Amino acid sequence: MATKEPSPLTGEIRFEEADFHALSERLAGDPEATPRRLVTRRKLLALGKRAVAELKADGYAFESRTSLHHPHAFNGNRVRRIWTYLTRPKAEKRSLKKVLGPDLGKDLDAAFRNAHLALAIEAEALEVSLRIHPDGWYDGQNLKNKVERTEMGFDAWRDELNRLDGFFLRMDDWKGEWRCGELTRERLEEFLSYYTPGDHRLSVERRWPVPAAARDAALGEEVPGTLVGELRRLGPLYRCTAWSPENDHLFSS
């Protein structure tokens, strides 16, 4: 959903108890908590822009945006999670639209219709992830074609996943998980045998549980930098996974 982005928060970014509390079940649908959630959204936007700059220094191009902070029909009138998304830049979207054609490529502006990196906050968790939504099926299909048609493509994807210790490869809300750092050919072939682009969400994610009774670990001054650093670690996997003119396996035989 396209909305005008707020301005990013300036100065030192640090999480506070109120950032999590405003997303709690009790307050998720409360309009009076909206101003507090806006502060959180502005923090995430600042971190997203910092991540974009650091990834650019690594040779990866992204644009950042954030999710809604107020109850709306789009989020079921409850704000349980706020994201900053890092998605492909406009020039690359134009290139992908040319490949897909006008009908399939008309809705690419929405972040969830593209493979993207995300940093998210919930009432009791922080998360960094690479995600491919079912509506971004072209990125999922590009990945499947690459790894199933070429030995080099399979090995490259496996190797990038295994550099991400602490992350898990997941599919939708399935209970199964594939631990990065120890993925074998057999385990990845198992995953790919189930994964269907357009039907399933694919994610490579790292989550930090921060329950209310043990929240101090999420409030330290080093936490935002750690999260940005984890986004930066996902850059090579994103390049190996998502469609780009240099990584085009979408319709090639």
Residue 6 half-sphere exposure toward CB, CA atoms < 13 A: 20
Give the residue extent of every domain in the chain.
17-133+168-174+200-239
pLDDT tens for 54-77 read 999 999 999 999 998 988 887 888
Spatial CB neighbours of 245, under 8 Å, sequence gap ≥ 6? 92, 95
Single-letter residue type at 162: N
State the pLDDT confidence band at 94, using cuts at 50, 70 and 90. confident
| CATH number for domain 17-133+168-174+200-239, candidates 3.30.930, 1.10.860, 2.30.29, 3.90.550 | 3.30.930
List, for residues 118-159, the tens digit of each pLDDT value.
Answer: 999 999 999 999 999 999 999 999 999 999 998 899 999 999
This prediction's pTM: 0.93
Strands 178-179 and 125-132: unpaired
End-to-end CA gap in the chain: 34
Mean pLDDT of 82-105: 86
DSSP helix/strand/coil, 211: coil
Mean pLDDT, to the nearest integer, of 87-95? 89
Band (1; pLDDT cuts 50, 70, 90): very low
One-letter identity of residue 55? L
Per-residue pLDDT tens digits for 4-49 = 899 999 999 999 999 999 999 999 999 999 999 999 999 999 999 9
Positive or negative, the CA dihedral 185, 190, 193, 196 is: negative
**Which ranges constitute the DSSP H helices of 9-136?**
17-21, 34-57, 90-100
Contact call for residues 182 and 173 (beta carbons, < 8 A): no
Burial class (CB in 10 A: 0-12, 13-18, 19+), 252: exposed
